[in-house]
Amino acid sequence: MQVSTAPITGITASDVRGLLAASARGGLLSGADLFTLAFALSGRSHRQPLTLDEARDLLLANGLPQALAGDELIERMRESTSADPAFLVYNTTTFCLDRKVGLSRRLGQLVLRHDVQQLLRAHRAEPPPLERPAARPPARARRTDAPAAPTRRPPTAPTPERPSGPAPPVPPPPPRKPAPLLISGLDRSELLRKLQGPPSSLAAVSHALRAHLLASAEQFEELLALAALAGVEPHRYQIETARRVLRVFRGRALLADEVGLGKTVEALMILREYQLRGMVRRALVLVPPALVGQWTGELAEKAGIAARTTDDAARTADPDAFWRDEGVVVASLALARSSKHAPLVQAASWDLVIVDEAHHVKSRTTASFKLVDGLHSRFLLMLTATPIETDLEELYNLVTLLKPGQFATPAAFRAQFVDPKDPLSPKNRERLRALLAEVMVRNTRADSGLALPPRYVSTVIVDPLPEERALYERVLELVRARGADAGARLVASTLLRGAGSSPAAVRGSLERMSASDRRAPALRAALAELATLAASVRASRKGGALVDLARAHDEQILVFTRFRDTLSDIEAVLRDAGVASAAFHGGLSAADKRAALSAFREGRARARLHRRRRRGAQPPSLPCPRELRSPLQSHAHRAADRAAAPDGPARGSSRPCPGGSRRR
């Protein structure tokens, strides 16, 4: 089939004004027609897609009446340009690419160029090119707007002869109203023909477009997203990961690359690829609260996606519409799993769900796991550098969310792969590795091929001050004295971990505990005595060691701690020493979080202070190579584990974070 790929020419502002005026009078143009005209006026190259807002502005500038340019016009163009599969191919392959990608692009150019020219010709009332009509059998007369001529019948009686002379003039037929061009209804229009070569029916072109869409939509030989991403040059292993997820895993995968290798970029590539192919229109990104702003920025800067977030006012104004509408939603996992929002999130139908820091959904008993398990989505991506932290069953739970039945039942998984003596050491490694290869991708620094700088991890042992040690030993006595009572065990576990972090953490915990009067009188008295001792301990040797490190190294510092009271204490110590810092924790508003990140990125803060709620947790791509640890700290965690579960082995992991990160 011979086609023309010449660019559109001859489109003038006066042409468009005439068409828009006609549309205003009679509503002749569909939303897709209007969008096509706007694109022709824009002069964009094919790699620069035109947004609906930009299309409206262009039409306004070229004569569209203001009264017709409201939200109704946007919705009119959106419905026309997204509902028809043929237009999806026409839009994505013609507007978004500047390369040779095969039949669909050439047909798309043909549709675009020919539609605009035929649209102009029709509304200028220009006669179409002469064509030799094909022989057809007689057809029934169709009704027209012109009055029907009287039907001739055989005469039944002699009639008088007609007077000689010229026949009376036949009145001209009324002017035909030009038919509107409906790009979103390609198989119903009769305007599209070949610009060069023999004519081709519109049905044939429409069928070719649809066939090409069905044949190529899920082959992903060439990734369209590579040309659509901005400000990022994906590495080879990231491109291969995206292609493998798209082609082999069918969009359901566990991305478990090591920290810093760009799992977010891989997820963005997959999301954008599905969007460009018309396969994803509603996407949900579930992240820890502290990462909502980061993900929103990544989507906007790298993928050109304006996502709505759970920090937006629209979420509280109309929760139903917030979760139901099309587009990309970046949601705090903590908010989405709440009793108020979880039913709305699960009632929505999602094309793609992305779960960042997926180790937060590793336990079947948690609300986070139940939320993700109840979602309706065709595609699911789970991102985590630590798919296993304390038990192989965590891996079983994550894989089951992606591909139910991959590991059979929990009992069968334990029997086949879990060593009862060491829950982290699998049996039948080769079989386990083969099953994981069907659902998980894990790129390491060693096999990435990147020339990454080495990272050196060191632990600085800081001996506690005498008063710090005395406070810790007093807390330990409380644990031993009250170990039989379940409520006292929980109190003791919290206080022990706080004592291993800082005296400020003990003081803060005791202040919050004092607000409750439900504890036994003897326990309340012991806590009051401990509070008096904690109030007298104001100094911490770890704070001084941190100041020394800041002064010895002319570089920015990231500090992580589990307790917010410790974070506030560190902030005060650094401030007194003249070291500017920016605190970052879940209690900050979205604006305050952005301000803290900006201060650190712009160099206005030497130290960035993070609160982490659990051991082993770490923010993405933020290595922390030096650990300040008191001898009391390791002892505190072991003792706290025993206090919390005295009848069984401790399940907590004290191993280092992958990549060298440590907790304080």
pLDDT 10s digits, 564-617: 888 888 888 888 888 888 887 777 776 777 788 778 777 777 776 766 654 434
Nearest to 259 by CA among 120, 333, 396, 357: 357
Q: Which tokens sit at 473?
A: 């030993």
- Which residues are paired to 327 by β-bridges? 282
Backbone phi and psi for residue 488, each to the nearest 5 degrees, phi listed first: -70, -35
Per-residue model confidence (pLDDT) at position 174: 55
Per-residue model confidence (pLDDT) at position 10: 44
Contact predicate 359/232, CB 8 Å: no
Per-residue model confidence (pLDDT) at position 442: 92
**DSSP H or E run through 379:** strand 376-383
Superfamily of domain 541-633+651-660: P-loop containing nucleotide triphosphate hydrolases (3.40.50.300)
Residue carrying the six token digits 């002319």: 554
Query: What is the C-alpha separation between 398 and 388, in angstroms, rounded?
Result: 10
Check: pTM over 0.75? Answer yes or no: no
How many Å is the Cα radius of gyration of the chain? 35
Query: Starting from the edge strand earliest in sequence, which strands make up the sheet with 440-441, in order?
Result: 308-309, 327-332, 282-287, 349-355, 376-383, 252-255, 440-441
User: In the chain, which segments carry CATH 3.40.50.300?
Assistant: 541-633+651-660
Per-residue model confidence (pLDDT) at position 429: 86
Quick: pLDDT tens for 392-441: 888 888 988 998 888 888 888 888 888 888 777 788 888 888 888 888 99
Per-residue model confidence (pLDDT) at position 448: 79
Quick: pLDDT tens for 234-288: 889 999 999 999 988 889 999 999 888 889 999 999 999 988 887 888 999 999 9
Per-residue model confidence (pLDDT) at position 108: 39
Per-residue model confidence (pLDDT) at position 170: 59
Residue 542 CB-density burial (10 A; 0-12 exposed, 13-18 middle, 19+ buried): buried
pLDDT under 70 in the chain at which residues?
1-37, 39-50, 63-219, 452-453, 482-489, 515-520, 590, 608, 610-664
User: In the chain, which segments carry CATH 3.40.50.10810?
Assistant: 225-448
Query: What is the C-alpha separation between 572 and 578, in angstroms, rounded?
Result: 10
Per-residue model confidence (pLDDT) at position 66: 65
Going by CATH, does the domain composed of 225-448 fall within 1.10.760.10? no
Strands (DSSP E) contained in 411-512 are: 418-419, 422-426, 440-441, 458-461
Per-residue model confidence (pLDDT) at position 106: 36
Per-residue model confidence (pLDDT) at position 195: 28
Ramachandran region of residue 115, left (φ > 0), alpha (ψ -120 to 50) or beta? alpha
